[in-house]
Amino acid sequence: MKLNELKPNPGARKAKKRVGRGPGGTDKTAGRGHKGQASRSGSSLASSGSYKSEGGQTPMIRRLPKRGFNNPMKAQFHLVNLSDLSGFGAGATVNAESLVEMRLIKKVKHPIKLLARGEVSVALNITVDAASAAAVEAVKAAGGSVTVTGSSVEAA
């Protein structure tokens, strides 16, 4: 069997009903009922599956309270785990440029923080803006070094 030979089981996929196209498309009102906003083109009321309208009942989105806010001053980091560094060889230098080169981060928009998820088996020389204590300990235990610059952390 090949990928191009795969197909769904008979009856597993139902054809979409194409409405509003002559007698076969449930004719005349095409399942929209008579008149009213919901019968017009471009309508997205509850009859069309919108979450904002529940037909006179106060919608769920208005029944529930607002909570929290978006903090414009929150610290944002590019997070790199120890498990992500497995592609680097022994004695390699890990910094912002090498992380972009290895496609672990797309581009340097925020400070880089090293986290301890996973294990590191080779000695690496790592330069980051921030690092967790457990990550620094793990890298040093493997014979590597971590330099925490902290330069752009204040700006974040």
Span 54-71, average pLDDT: 90
Question: Per-residue pLDDT for 132 more than 70?
Answer: yes
pLDDT digits (tens, 9 = 90+) for 103-124: 999 999 999 999 999 999 999 9
Three-state secondary structure string covering 48-105 = HCCCCCECCECCHHHHCCCCCCCCCCCCCCEEEEHHHHHHCCCCCEECHHHHHHCCCC
Provide the pLDDT for residue 16. 87
CATH assignment of 78-148?
3.100.10.10
Q: How far apart are the first and last CA of the chain?
A: 53
pLDDT digits (tens, 9 = 90+) for 72-113: 999 899 999 999 999 899 989 999 999 999 999 999 999 999
Contact criterion met (CB below 8 Å) for 97 and 78? no
Measured in degrees and rounded to the nearest 5, phi and psi for residue 148 equal: -100, 110
Domain boundaries, the chain: 18-66, 78-148
* Least confident stretch, 42-46, 108-112, 134-138: 42-46
Which residues are CB-contacts of 88 (< 8 A; sequence separation ≥ 6)? 94, 98, 102, 122, 124
Provide the pLDDT for residue 45. 61
Contact criterion met (CB below 8 Å) for 101 and 122? no
- Which amino acid belongs to residue 26? T
pTM, full prediction: 0.58
